[in-house]
Amino acid sequence: STPHELWIATSNSVSGVPYSDEFTVESKWRLSAETETSTRLEIWVEMAWGPHPPMEITRLMIEKSSLGG
C-alpha cells in the first residue's frame, strides 16, 4: 500500500443455506489515485463453501446471485 492507495478486506458468512450448511464471500477492494481528480477501484471476490456444499444447481444459483451483484 502506498500513500495514494487504500485496501479494504471484507468477509461475510451466510448460514442456513438450503441444502448446505454455510458459505463465505470474501472480497478485497483497492482504491488508488490515478490523477488529482480520478480514482481507480478494483474488486476481487471469492466464495468458499462450508463442509457440506449444496447440489450443483443450487450452488450455481447462489454463486450467480452472490458474485453477480
Residue range 19-44, pLDDT digits in tens:
667 788 899 999 999 988 999 999 99
Question: What one-character-per-residue DSSP string does 25-58 give?
Answer: EEEEEEEEE-SSS-EEEEEEEEEEE-SS---HHH
* pTM for this prediction: 0.63
CA pair distance 15, 28, nearest whole angstrom: 21
Task: Report CA-CA distances (Å) from 17 to 30, 61, 69.
Answer: 30, 12, 18
Rounded to whole angstroms, the Cα distance separating 18 from 35 reads 47
pLDDT tens for each residue of 9-25? 999 988 876 666 778 88
The one-letter amino acid at 19:
Y
Question: Residues 50-60: what's their mean pLDDT?
Answer: 69
